[in-house]
Structure 1
């Protein structure tokens, strides 16, 4: 059991007999823990934003971009990147704003409000990121459907002269959608590990503040 739990239990047992300093100490510890959690959320979001740019240096990423262009989806790729950068940078700004607000708070009710805002911001951020990932795969599946020769457009050199082109398209579309579902699910698990654990701790701080306030 950490120092905060011990102090909080002692404060509850003594009730009104506990000096004001006991309440203030507990509040400061919750405030510091909350500030640290939001700081980590902010830092992780920056790392998550920068990491894909390092992946672009890999040959596989260059081939992936070529596939999008081969399917006639170059404009969508450009537009989605613009939207992604704009929205993600906006969320990073919000995380930084939440961190600065919590770092300068001296009021328990304001801290409660800010914790709620942070939880909502993270929730919307995760929903946006996962939605964008899945939509990208759906759009790629649509590009395959509309392409006259999706195999060639995607840069593959398979000899499919004797294959039914409709079946080939259906197989490719099903594969892309299945892959999209798997990737979205895996990323959802990663987001849960990165942000879910931090939000759980933040939610615990919120409940502790509610118990103290009311």
Structure 2
């Protein structure tokens, strides 16, 4: 299958050309499950470690969590981007909407992301000698926080979509990792911006956890950000030669 025109298909996932650049469906599924799993492990694991190291300083703990998350995300995109590096069902859906993926590829990628995230929350909890699965008790879904989650998700998807048109995996990795590091501080929601990550974080009653009810509200705002991003990218791309 020929690679799509990146200039015209700016919503492709963060790799050069299309998600399954090499390795076919098996390679794509393996990369998505592995990358999403390692990302979730970095988020939850660094949150637990930071909270243990700085129990009386949540700001410092968040700083450690944000830097670790952004660095891990950038590294994973740069490492796996030649095969597949969406790690986010929303990014995958954008790629499918712009015909960067087939329906079969998109569904396989999303399933892999969810499975990878689910395994990772068990591993992260266990790694710090906690029960493998503990229902989160942190409520996050008030109005201002939900606005923050919408903004965080919209910004992330814009960064992915508009840097993808460059076809430069390193640039995409640095841009996405940098944005997430910043958004974890400048948004009130601390920038979940990923349905697979959001669902996984309901399974850890630690620094990065979120209650199932709050997670449902986050998922709704993430879903709203998806078509908004699609329209914005279309408008922006009209002015880009």
- TM (normalized to structure 2)? 0.26
Higher percent of residues as helix: 1
- TM (normalized to structure 1)? 0.28
Structure number, greater radius of gyration = 1
